[in-house]
Amino acid sequence: MKTALIFGSSGLIGNNLVKIILQNNKYDQIKLFVRSEKENNNPKLEIIKTDFNNLEKHKNSIVGDDCFFCIGTTRKNTPNKNEYIKVEYNLPVAVAKMAKSNSVNHFIYVSSLGSNPNASGLYLKNKGQAEQQLINLNFSKLSIIRPSILLGNRKENRIGEKIGVFLMQLLSPVFLGKLKKYKPIKVENVAKAMINIAQNNYQKTVFESDRLVEISK
C-alpha cells in the first residue's frame, strides 16, 4: 500500500484528485497539506495544517510514495509579482527538494501547456523554469502534467477564462493531429490521468493534454 502527498487539494485539479484517490485501493494514507484546518471523517486522510511561509518545519511530514503538486495562482489573485513567483516557482521547487531529500520516489507536478523557461509571459516562464529545476533534482520518477484549458466548476468566477473556454470549445473540431493537445480538457480526466501515471510505468516525463485524455480512460 502507498502514501500519497497532495499539495493544492482545494484547487480545481487537487479537489478532483482527492475525490478519486480516496476510492483507490492502492493508497492507504493520503496526506493533505493545507493552509487552514478542514473537517475530516475519513481515516485514510491526514490533514496537515501547513505554514507555506515556513515550509521547513513541515519537512518531516513530506514523506510518502507519490507527491502530487497542484498549487497554482493567478495574477488577479496574486498581483504582487514577487508573491506570484513565490507561489508559481519557489514553492513547487522547495516542496520537491524536501520530497527528494526524504526519498519520495515520484513527484507529479501540474504545469501548463506551453510552459517554457524562456517565455515572455510570466505564467508560462515560471512553469517552464520550475520544470527545469524539478528535472535537475533527478527523482526516481518525475511526471510533468501539461493540461490545456480546464473544463470544470470553479469556486471563483473568471469571466475571461469562461470566454476563453467557450471559444476553444467552438474551435475544438479543427484541433487535429499535433493540434489535439490544445483542446480543452475535463478536470476529472486530468486527475484520473495523474493517478494512472502514478501507478504505471510510462517511459516519459512530460504528459501533454491529448495524452492525458488517453491515459484517463
* Angle between helical axes of 187-199 and 209-216 (0-180°, round to 10): 70
pLDDT digits (tens, 9 = 90+) for 155-196: 655 555 555 555 555 556 655 667 778 888 999 999 999 999
Closest CA to 70 of 26, 137, 21, 105: 21
| DSSP letters spanning 99-138 | HHHTT--EEEEE--TT--TT-SSHHHHHHHHHHHHHHHT-
Q: What angle do CA 211, 30, 200 make, to 5 degrees?
A: 30
Give the pLDDT band of residue 38 (cuts 50, 70, 90): confident
In this structure, what C-alpha cell is assigned to residue 83? 508573491
What is the C-alpha to C-alpha distance for residues 42 and 90, in angstroms, rounded to an integer? 31
Indicate if the pLDDT at residue 12 is higher than 80.
Answer: yes
Do the Cβ atoms of 208 and 172 come closer than 8 Å? no
pLDDT digits (tens, 9 = 90+) for 39-88: 888 999 999 999 999 999 999 999 999 999 999 998 888 999 999 999 99
Domains of the chain (ranges, CATH numbers) = 2-156+185-216 (3.40.50.720)
Helix (H/G/I), strand (E/B), else coil: 26:
coil
pLDDT digits (tens, 9 = 90+) for 101-121: 999 999 999 999 999 999 999
pLDDT of amino acid 77: 87
